[in-house]
Amino acid sequence: MTWSNAQDQTPRSYTCGYCGKVVASNKGYYSQIDSNLRVFVCPNCDKPSYLTPSEQVPGVAPGNEVKALPPDIETLYREARNSVAVSAYTASVLTCRKLLMNIAVGLGAPASKSFMEYVEYLSANGYVPPKGKGWVDHIRKKGNEANHEIVLMGRTDADDLIAFTEMLLKFIYEFPSRVPVVP
């Protein structure tokens, strides 16, 4: 513990937004005005989180790490996940869309198409497993707003698109990297 005068307090269990571990901390600080407002120091990574009965800052990034990603894809995927942790849901959805468009172009799709055309390309070319087609319909329904219309996205929209992106990244990059390539 590197924090000055950190106090003992009633332990609380939470998922640390920095290191991703489920921890139980009893060290930190509390507000003198409202004892529900607390800062807990993570016993694993030593970083502080602000917790109230209904809020946690920083929040927890949804989705899981994917191995064997090209550096640009890895950075964008992490940005999309971390955006959710700071409640930037629209930014997360836009980042995921950008990511899926880049992946499709990298796999041979023509440039300058719409987001939905790229999702269709990934589906039509075998990058979405047969039982993942329902996801394509779901993403299509969410993604068909007019080009210049501003549509704010919510937590569920961002979580869904990250789950879909994670599945594709695993199929396209991680799993092929784990077995010898068949010529």
Smaller CB separation from Zn ion, 26 or 102: 26
Smaller CB separation from Zn ion, 44 or 144: 44
Q: What residues make contact with Zn ion under the rule CB under 5 A?
A: 16, 18-19, 42, 44-45
Please give the angle made by the CA atoms of 62, 66 and 69, to the nearest 5 degrees.
130
User: Residue 45 Cβ, how far from Zn ion at the closest point, in Å?
Assistant: 3
User: Residue 7 Cβ, how far from Zn ion at the closest point, in Å?
Assistant: 19
What type of residue sits at position 31?
Answer: S
- Beta strands, E only, the chain: 7-15, 22-30, 38-41, 48-51, 56-57
Smaller CB separation from Zn ion, 48 or 143: 48
* 8 Å CB contact between 94 and 169: no
Q: Can you tell me the distance from the alpha carbon of 158 to that of 83, in angstroms, rounded to the nearest whole number?
A: 9
User: Residue 76 Cβ, how far from Zn ion at the closest point, in Å?
Assistant: 24
Smaller CB separation from Zn ion, 18 or 29: 18
Q: Residue 54 gets which letter from DSSP? A: S
Q: Residue 9 gets which letter from DSSP? A: E
User: Residue 26 Cβ, how far from Zn ion at the closest point, in Å?
Assistant: 14
Closest CA to 115 of 76, 141, 89, 82: 141
Smaller CB separation from Zn ion, 47 or 98: 47
User: Residue 43 Cβ, how far from Zn ion at the closest point, in Å?
Assistant: 8
For residue 120, the tally of other CB atoms under 10 A from its CB is: 17
